[in-house]
Structure 1
Amino acid sequence: MNAIEAQLRKQPRLRFLHAVATTVILIIFFWSTSAIQFNKLTINGLEIAGNIVKGIINPDLDLLFNFTDKGVAYLLLETMAIALLGTIVGGLLAIPLAFLSASNIVPKPIAAVIRFMLIVIRTIPAVVYGLMFIRVTGQGPFAGVLTMSLTSIGMLSKLFADVIEDLDTSILESMESIGCTTFEKIRFGIIPQLTAMFLSIMIYRYDMNLRDAAILGLVAAGGIGAPLIFAMNSYRWSEAGSILIGLIVLILLIEYISSKIRAKLVQG
């Protein structure tokens, strides 16, 4: 016990550093609250918030269970399709970029340049990309798919590269020692190590893209966001409630399914 106490006493005392760090964090926190303007919170704003809650409690059932192209189900399906296509296209484009940004595959200067390019891609928000593509392709789901693809590339390439850099190279060395060709090393040594993790990352990104696709609808890039903002701007709170209910149910369902699939991929 005396040896343990002696060892603890030898440890550097960090109380002063902890106190300074805590003080700095508290100062930054209280300074950040100065940006919140409670005087903007008017009676009218509280009434609108109450109407939104009422719309969720009393949704427009005709819209919620309308299975035409004007109903919530179709809009949710369109949102899912935009997110899925964007994830797949972005994932396919991210794979070669991931190999080019992995420092154990290519020279470090090349990897650094590609990683910098991916950082630039990730810096721009999805809504900005959506506004740009709308000017090019016009309003509609196609602009949403292009936006999801581009925003997916940045994140997927970074995560894919991290997985590639963690490859077990001893397997490749063993295969090389028994005379395996480059194709055989890729087919039986690299792909089996990467497939499960790549799929798990893409499923996680699809989960994120589904939320982003709903937001992109606000800038007329397809999906359920545009009808939602139109309903709220027109003060049709029951319609807005129907759309929000459908969106909440969809995201919860996708979250549950994706978490189960990712768990099986990691375990398998």
Structure 2
Amino acid sequence: MNQKILVKYEEEPKRWILQLSIAFLIGIMLAWSSSTVNYKITAKGVEMAGCIITGIFHPDTKLLFDLSENGVAYLLLETMCIAFLGTIVGAILSVPLSFLSAANVVARPVALLVRVFIMAIRTVPALVYGLMFIRVTGPGAFTGLLTMSLCSIGMISKMYIESIEDLDIKILESLDAIGCTTLQKIRYGIIPQLFPDFMSTIIYRFDMNLRDATVLGMVGAGGIGAPLIYAMNAYRWNEAGAILTGLIVLILVIEVISTKIRVKLARG
């Protein structure tokens, strides 16, 4: 037995040259990338970093607990509404696009054409969409809503398509054999299979949109991003710390709730 193992080991292809070449190539890429790092740290830079850290860890409590339209609570609520409504609108628009892109539902040429359209939507970054919509609708929360909706279509449609193409056709055939109507097949055969995956995708996309809505606010698309960038540009690090503290708390709460919902959906 030991002799057979040794023979098999000797017959194993020698890949050490390939592995060494890959390691050498990775080393060259790392060395090249490190050449862009600026190792010269000035005293002014250290002082600025200290101010940033001090401001973030000593937030402006007055701004943090201000319940007016300029307070952190209201701005966070606006950001969450932008992300939530953008996710819902994107999820609804993704349903017909996904069914038209599924090769097991429509003809392959039609599915390929719609998939190219979805891919084109997904290619453009959210900031570019935000800047485009600002020119059309002006700055504000509605611009953020339109941007989040369009950005959500790309990812949600992709996940929807995978779920639709993984449908168990045997269940539909069984329902057809017992004389179920089309609506009954959709109600008892398709929706129960797709609902958990669809909801999990929507929740995951909402988590992403909540973070993206903050970035979009920096270009004028509503939400908490604009006050954050104004505070940073004015070197008011205490205000920036208050905004970041509220944002961290909101994301943690949403993360806990969404995780529990996804676990419940996965377990049925």
Q: Provide the TM-score with structure 2 as the length reference.
A: 0.94
CA distance in 1, matches of 2:159, 2:12: 37
Give 2:15's aligned residue: 14
From the superposition, tell whether residues 4 and 168 of structure 1 become closer, same or farther in structure 2 (CA, over 3 Å).
Answer: farther
2:152 aligned with 1:152: yes
Pairing of 1:181-260 with structure 2 (within 5 A) = 181-260=181-260
Pairing of 1:123-202 with structure 2 (within 5 A) = 123-202=123-202
Percent of matched pairs sharing the same residue: 59
Specify the SS of the correspondent of 1:47: helix
CA distance in 2, matches of 1:174, 1:20: 56
From the superposition, tell whether residues 30 and 109 of structure 1 become closer, same or farther in structure 2 (CA, over 3 Å).
Answer: farther
From the superposition, tell whether residues 12 and 109 of structure 1 become closer, same or farther in structure 2 (CA, over 3 Å).
Answer: farther
From the superposition, tell whether residues 108 and 5 of structure 1 become closer, same or farther in structure 2 (CA, over 3 Å).
Answer: farther
From the superposition, tell whether residues 15 and 173 of structure 1 become closer, same or farther in structure 2 (CA, over 3 Å).
Answer: farther
CA distance in 1, matches of 2:29, 2:38: 17
Specify the SS of the correspondent of 2:35: helix
From the superposition, tell whether residues 198 and 14 of structure 1 become closer, same or farther in structure 2 (CA, over 3 Å).
Answer: same
Specify the SS of the correspondent of 2:80: helix
- The amino acid of 1:150's aligned partner reads L
Q: Structure 2: where are the runs of 5+ without partners?
A: none
Q: How far off is 1:11 after superposition?
A: 4.5
CA distance in 2, matches of 1:56, 1:233: 14
Specify the SS of the correspondent of 1:219: coil
CA distance in 2, matches of 1:167, 1:8: 44
CA distance in 1, matches of 2:263, 2:9: 40
Q: How far off is 1:7 after superposition?
A: 5.1
Give the superposed CA RMSD. Answer: 1.7
Q: How far off is 1:8 after superposition?
A: 5.2
Give 2:34's aligned residue: 33
Pairing of 1:34-113 with structure 2 (within 5 A) = 34-39=35-40, 42-113=42-113
Give 1:121's aligned residue: 121
From the superposition, tell whether residues 217 and 177 of structure 1 become closer, same or farther in structure 2 (CA, over 3 Å).
Answer: same
Residue range with higher mean Cα deviation, 159-168 or 144-153: 159-168
Specify the SS of the correspondent of 1:35: coil
Q: Structure 1: where are the runs of 5+ without partners?
A: none
Q: How far off is 1:58 after superposition?
A: 1.2
Residue range with higher mean Cα deviation, 93-102 or 148-157: 93-102
Q: Deviations over 1:66-90 (max 9, x none)?
A: 1111110110000000000000000
CA distance in 2, matches of 1:206, 1:21: 39
